[in-house]
């Protein structure tokens, strides 16, 4: 009996153990099942989050994340603006550079092109060079190995390329076998050249002719003859050139800028060395002396007897500091000069005689505080009797705006000035005047303060205005134009969304 009960007990315990093992197995199975479901839910939620991020992230951000720009990337070819360097040779011909660097000739009337110089012909990389063609189209002037000094200033090696004989000549500094020059440029006649070396001005009648030294005052870093110093480059002329040819090439007007009394500023230059280099240059702060400036005209006929005449400022400015803002030749014996006093609240437009050296005031602008936009170069009429330039004028209760004004040069100061445009917008620059139609071309903000469009206005009759670019180039709001010598055609640049260049008459022809 006892053994039987023990057997039953043993069997019962065995049954209980089996039930416990079965229960534990089922529990473990349920746990793994729950964990798998939870994991799938987590994976699903994460995938939704990633998908949302991808769909909501702009495409350009993904591109940036995939390939971030580096400093080296900025110097890649695809980020470099391809400036065609286009310039007019005469009324129907111009020269330009292709994207491959070839120098080309274009007849804009027949639309025929010809290669002036292939980029592979010389060891010089023409894409990294500047070029101009002589007025007689016999020579190419090439500036290469360019070393920048200021944004508008540099030194370079200059070379001549004969388009007929295919010969190559180096333009050498005076009394030197080799070296860089500060500037070399063509005059308006044949093969005239002006050179600047060590801040002095030189003239050459043509290729192979001897150099005539026009100035002896140049001093590196201090006295500049025919070139702008730092102040005039950056704040006044916005160009390194400080000389202007008369139309017949017989005279050359130029500035002499003297920094002797200007305090010196010191600028550290970090050029990759252990310590920075120190660069010193004249820098006039408020209350400190400005560089003095003088205006001269060199008579170049004959070159061996070149004469210099100083043009004195109007009487109102002779005993105070002033700036010279713009020079425009009226004819071959007189020019217009714009002067501005140091406080910049008095601007004088004068007519200067190259024979007497006197500058007579023809118009003045004054302000109780500050005169803005005084750097615009005026345009002279074909008869040399009227100047066109933007002047400030009140537009009712809307305030003062700059508009196109005609100033008779034979009248006394401020008399006879009349405006050709009006409205609550501004004329930003005057570009050219057509000699036969008497239309004046100018840039203005008439459609929008942020837009620059090219307009023409008739100077006779009803002063009718026409916008030449408002519907010309799609998606372009900032335009720039360069007119041919007789203002019959113009090069049109779009400086807005894409940089493009066109030659324009009634229609436009794009070239690359």
Q: What is the 3-state secondary structure (H, E, C) of 34-79?
A: HHHHHHHHHHHHHHHHHHHHHHHCCHHHHHHHHCCCCCHHHHCHHH
Q: Comparing C-alpha atoms, which of 141, 137, 143 is closest to residue 105?
A: 137
Taking only the tens place, the pLDDT of each residue in 42-101 is 887 788 777 777 666 665 544 444 567 777 777 676 666 677 889 999 999 999 999 888
The answer to whether 182 and 227 are in contact (CB under 8 A) is yes
pLDDT of residue 28: 59
Distance in angstroms (rounded) separating the CA atoms of residues 226 and 242: 5
pLDDT of residue 472: 86
Distance in angstroms (rounded) separating the CA atoms of residues 240 and 258: 15
Neighbours of 123 (CB within 10 A): 7
Averaged pLDDT for residues 476-498: 86
Q: Give kind and range of the element (H or E) at residue 13.
A: helix 2-56
Q: Comparing C-alpha atoms, which of 150, 298, 286 is closest to residue 214?
A: 298
Q: What residue has token string 């005026």?
A: 378
Averaged pLDDT for residues 138-149: 90
pLDDT of residue 56: 66
Q: With bands split at pLDDT 50, 70 and 90, how would you rate the model's confidence at 415?
A: low
User: Does residue 175 surpass a pLDDT of 90?
Assistant: no
Collapsed DSSP state (helix, strand, coil) of residue 461: coil
Q: What residue has token string 């030197």?
A: 176
pLDDT of residue 367: 87
pLDDT of residue 60: 53
Q: Comparing C-alpha atoms, which of 473, 478, 397, 482 is closest to residue 445?
A: 478
R_g of the chain computed on alpha carbons: 36
Q: Comparing C-alpha atoms, which of 99, 118, 211 is closest to residue 161?
A: 118
Please provide the size of the chain in residues: 512
Taking only the tens place, the pLDDT of each residue in 356-386 is 999 999 888 888 888 877 788 899 998 888 9
pLDDT of residue 460: 82
Collapsed DSSP state (helix, strand, coil) of residue 275: coil
Q: Comparing C-alpha atoms, which of 97, 234, 209 is closest to residue 512?
A: 97
The answer to whether 102 and 114 are in contact (CB under 8 A) is no
Return left, alpha or beta for 226; rule: phi > 0 is left, psi -120 to 50 is alpha, else beta. left
Distance in angstroms (rounded) separating the CA atoms of residues 244 and 296: 10
User: Does residue 507 surpass a pLDDT of 50?
Assistant: no
What secondary structure letter does DSSP report for 6? H
Taking only the tens place, the pLDDT of each residue in 112-123 is 999 999 988 877
Averaged pLDDT for residues 32-42: 78
Calculate the CA 491 to chain-centre distance.
15
Share of the chain above pLDDT 90, in %: 50
Calculate the CA 134 to chain-centre distance.
23
Distance in angstroms (rounded) separating the CA atoms of residues 347 and 427: 18
Phi and psi torsions of 290, nearest 5°: -85, 160
State in Å, rounded, how far the first CA of the chain is from the last one: 116
Distance in angstroms (rounded) separating the CA atoms of residues 209 and 53: 72
Contacts by 313-322 with C-beta closer than 8 Å and gap 24+?
313/339, 313/348, 313/350, 313/359, 314/339, 314/348, 314/350, 314/359, 314/360, 314/361, 315/361, 316/346, 316/348, 316/361, 316/364, 317/341, 317/346, 317/348, 321/289, 321/290, 321/292, 322/293
Distance in angstroms (rounded) separating the CA atoms of residues 70 and 323: 43
Collapsed DSSP state (helix, strand, coil) of residue 396: helix
Collapsed DSSP state (helix, strand, coil) of residue 14: helix
Averaged pLDDT for residues 17-45: 66
Q: With bands split at pLDDT 50, 70 and 90, how would you rate the model's confidence at 252?
A: very high
Q: What residue has token string 């980029």?
A: 119
Q: What is the mean pLDDT of the chain?
A: 84
Between 56 and 501, the more confident residue is 56
Give me 233's structure tokens: 């480059």
User: Does residue 15 surpass a pLDDT of 60?
Assistant: no
User: Does residue 339 surpass a pLDDT of 70?
Assistant: yes
Taking only the tens place, the pLDDT of each residue in 274-329 is 888 888 889 999 899 999 999 999 999 887 778 999 999 999 998 899 999 999 99
Q: Comparing C-alpha atoms, which of 252, 196, 262 is closest to residue 232?
A: 262
Phi and psi torsions of 238, nearest 5°: 55, 40
Q: Comparing C-alpha atoms, which of 189, 185, 307, 333 is closest to residue 248?
A: 189
Q: Comparing C-alpha atoms, which of 159, 76, 123, 92 is closest to residue 491?
A: 92
- List the 168-171 sheet strands across, edge first: 130-133, 139-150, 153-162, 168-171
Give me 266's structure tokens: 């010191």
Q: With bands split at pLDDT 50, 70 and 90, how would you rate the model's confidence at 6?
A: very low
Share of the chain above pLDDT 70, in %: 85
pLDDT of residue 55: 67
Averaged pLDDT for residues 455-469: 89
User: Does residue 213 surpass a pLDDT of 60?
Assistant: yes
């Amino acid at each position: 009996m006892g053994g039987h009960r023990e057997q039953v007990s043993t069997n019962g315990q065995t049954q209980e153990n089996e039930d416990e093992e079965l229960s534990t197995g089922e529990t473990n199975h349920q746990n793994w099942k729950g964990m798998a479901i939870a994991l799938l839910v987590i994976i699903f939620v994460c995938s939704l989050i990633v998908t949302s991020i991808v769909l909501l992230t702009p495409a350009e951000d993904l591109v940036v994340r995939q390939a971030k720009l580096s400093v080296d990337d900025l110097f890649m070819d695809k980020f470099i603006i391809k400036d065609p360097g286009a310039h007019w040779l005469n009324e129907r011909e111009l020269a330009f550079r292709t994207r491959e660097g070839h120098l080309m000739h274009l007849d804009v009337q027949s639309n025929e092109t010809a290669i002036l110089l292939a980029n592979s012909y010389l060891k010089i990389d023409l894409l990294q060079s500047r070029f101009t063609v002589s007025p007689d189209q016999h020579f190419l002037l090439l500036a290469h190995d360019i070393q920048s000094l200021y944004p508008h200033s540099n030194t370079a090696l200059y070379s001549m390329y004969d388009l007929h004989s295919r010969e190559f000549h180096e333009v050498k500094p005076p009394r030197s076998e080799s070296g860089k020059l500060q500037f070399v440029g063509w005059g308006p006649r044949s093969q005239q050249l002006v050179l600047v070396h060590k801040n002095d001005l030189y003239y050459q009648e043509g290729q192979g002719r001897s150099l005539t030294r026009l100035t002896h005052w140049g001093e590196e870093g201090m006295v500049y003859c025919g070139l702008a110093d730092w102040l005039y480059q950056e704040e006044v002329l916005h160009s390194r050139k400080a000389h202007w040819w008369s139309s017949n090439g017989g005279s050359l007007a130029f500035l002499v800028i003297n920094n002797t009394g200007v305090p010196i500023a010191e600028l550290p230059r970090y050029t990759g060395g252990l310590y920075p280099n120190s660069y010193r240059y004249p820098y006039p702060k408020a209350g400190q002396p400005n560089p003095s400036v003088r205006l001269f005209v060199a008579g170049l006929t004959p070159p061996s007897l070149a004469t210099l005449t100083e043009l004195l400022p109007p009487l109102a400015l002779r005993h105070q500091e002033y700036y010279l803002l713009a020079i425009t030749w009226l004819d071959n014996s007189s020019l217009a000069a714009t002067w501005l006093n140091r406080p910049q609240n008095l601007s004088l437009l004068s007519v200067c005689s190259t024979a007497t050296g006197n500058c007579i005031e023809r118009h003045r602008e004054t302000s109780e505080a500050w005169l803005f936009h005084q750097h615009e170069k005026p345009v002279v009429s074909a008869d040399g009797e009227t100047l066109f330039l933007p002047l400030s004028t009140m537009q009712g209760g809307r305030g003062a705006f700059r508009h196109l004004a005609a100033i008779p040069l034979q009248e006394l100061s401020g008399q006879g000035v009349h405006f050709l445009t009006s409205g609550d917008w501004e004329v930003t620059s005057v570009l050219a005047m057509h000699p036969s139609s008497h239309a004046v071309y100018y840039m203005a903000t008439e459609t929008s303060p942020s837009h620059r469009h090219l307009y023409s206005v008739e100077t006779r009759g009803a002063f009718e205005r026409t916008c030449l670019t408002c519907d010309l180039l799609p998606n372009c709001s900032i335009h720039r134009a360069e007119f041919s010598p007789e203002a019959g055609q113009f090069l049109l640049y779009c400086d807005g969304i894409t940089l493009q260049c066109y030659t324009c008459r009634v229609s436009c022809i794009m070239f690359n």
